[in-house]
């Protein structure tokens, strides 16, 4: 069964890793949000692509969820000593990724080609695709201020209340992304932030239409557990966007876009008589074994749905 996983940061990377561990690599494509990307210190930084790649390569930093394990910070601290910006913590090992990526992009390679190169060097066998090769910066409007994403997320620690998530117009999917959707039997929406990780992917033309027209099943895994986001601003954003911060509200937010919904045992009973098929599972992924188990249970749910 050919599976496409839509992923953002930490939660998305974990489900992607679980799926990559149980399916043949040629059947798995991870399509990653690039709305968080930005230019910083002259480097092109792609946080969600890097979080997914490091997790798939077994070198993710489990404390932070982003960057690399066993990191050191000598360079960024030397940057600070020279009066440079150190608010966005770039580790010494992580910098290698940004240097190689930026160098290749400057030489004219596409982000898709650069990502493929990095994955090959990191020993990643599944396909990891940026949602587009064009810049597609997500901005956060808070009342009458519009913040670049990383300024809001890191510098402001996602505290400014979100009035609106501002997505770019005219961003187009790559041929590889379109082909992945056209050959998919199943699309999984990982437990990522619906507004700043998943919506930016749907915003890329013609992904929303592709998902509507093609026969495959679309299953989302809730990023909200027990009324809280497992990590990051999703629950806070739901309140600011006048949505209940519940897993049921996530299913209702995805609405027609999904055929199935997976929510956590902590929310048992909260997603009965939804339009879509649902499955109540232990969705917390702390260990690798958790990631494999959840992936297996989600695939079982999908197979049951697809066989009906
Ligand atoms: N997030 C932070 O909260 N603080 C940081 O200093 C930080 C540095 C960083 C460096 C590389 C990278 O790939 C991600 C980094 N992140 C940091 C996380 C990043 O802002 C988020 O992963 C995404 O943009 C949202 O998912």
Domain extent listing, the chain: 3-136+166-307
Nearest atom of ligand 1 to the alpha carbon of 36: 24
> 129 - beta bridge partners?
31
CA–CA distance, 220 with 189 (Å, rounded to integer): 4
- Determine the pLDDT at residue 143: 96
Strand order of the sheet with strand 260-264? 127-130, 28-32, 3-7, 186-189, 217-221, 260-264, 277-281
Going from the C-alpha of 157 to that of each of 35, 81, 102, 137, 174, the distances in angstroms are 17, 23, 26, 18, 32
Helix (H, G, I), strand (E, B) or coil at 58: coil
Q: Whose CA is nearest to atom 18 of ligand 1?
A: 66
- Determine the pLDDT at residue 225: 95
Q: What are residue 265's phi and psi, to 5 degrees?
A: -60, -25
- Determine the pLDDT at residue 177: 98
The neighbour count for residue 53, using CB atoms within 10 Å, is 25
pLDDT at 308 over 90: no
Residues of the chain by 3-state class (helix, strand, coil), percent to 5: 45, 20, 40
> 139 - beta bridge partners?
148, 166
Q: How far is the CA of 224 from the centre of ligand 1 (A)?
A: 20
Location of structure tokens 């000598």: 74
Q: How far is the CA of 47 from the centre of ligand 1 (A)?
A: 6
Helix (H, G, I), strand (E, B) or coil at 28: strand
> 228 - beta bridge partners?
225
pLDDT in tens, 151-176: 999 999 999 999 999 999 999 999 99
Q: Whose CA is nearest to atom 1 of ligand 1?
A: 154
- Determine the pLDDT at residue 187: 97
User: 3-136+166-307, what's its fold?
Assistant: Rossmann fold (3.40.50)
Ligand 1 pocket, mutate which of 65, 66, 101, 234 (most atoms under 8 A from CB): 66
pLDDT band of residue 251 (cuts 50, 70, 90) is: very high
Q: What global pTM score does this model have?
A: 0.97
The neighbour count for residue 114, using CB atoms within 10 Å, is 23
What's the mean pLDDT in 57-86? 97
Return mean pLDDT, the chain: 97
Q: Check: CB of residue 217 under 8 Å from CB of residue 305.
A: yes
């Amino acid at each position: 069964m050919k599976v496409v996983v839509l992923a953002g940061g930490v939660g998305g990377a974990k489900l992607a890793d679980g799926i990559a561990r149980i399916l043949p690599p040629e059947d798995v494509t991870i399509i990653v949000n690039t709305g968080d990307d930005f230019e910083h210190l002259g480097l092109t930084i792609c946080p969600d692509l890097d979080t997914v790649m490091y997790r798939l390569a077994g070198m993710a930093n489990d404390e932070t969820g982003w960057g690399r394990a066993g990191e050191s910070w000598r360079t960024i601290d030397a940057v600070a000593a020279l009066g440079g910006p150190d608010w966005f913590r770039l580790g010494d090992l992580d910098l290698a990724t940004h240097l190689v990526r930026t160098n290749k992009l400057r030489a004219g390679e596409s982000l898709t080609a650069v990502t493929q190169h990095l994955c090959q060097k990191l020993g990643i066998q599944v396909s990891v695709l940026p949602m587009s090769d064009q810049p597609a910066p997500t901005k956060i409007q808070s009342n009458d201020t519009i913040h670049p994403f990383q300024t809001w997320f890191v510098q402001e620690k996602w505290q400014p209340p979100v009035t609106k998530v501002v997505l770019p117009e005219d961003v187009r999917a790559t041929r590889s992304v379109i082909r992945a959707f056209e050959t998919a039997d199943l699309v999984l929406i990982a437990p990522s932030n619906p507004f700043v990780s998943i919506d930016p992917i749907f915003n890329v033309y013609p992904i929303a239409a592709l998902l509507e027209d093609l026969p495959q099943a679309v299953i989302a895994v809730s990023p909200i557990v027990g009324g809280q986001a497992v990590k990051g601003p999703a629950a806070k954003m739901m309140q600011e966007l006048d949505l209940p911060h519940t897993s049921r509200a996530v299913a209702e937010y995805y609405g027609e876009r999904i055929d199935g919904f997976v929510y956590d045992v902590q929310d048992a009973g909260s997603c009965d008589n939804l339009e879509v098929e649902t499955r109540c599972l232990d969705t917390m992924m702390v260990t690798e074994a958790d990631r494999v188990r959840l992936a297996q249970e989600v695939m079982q749910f999908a197979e049951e749905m697809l066989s009906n």
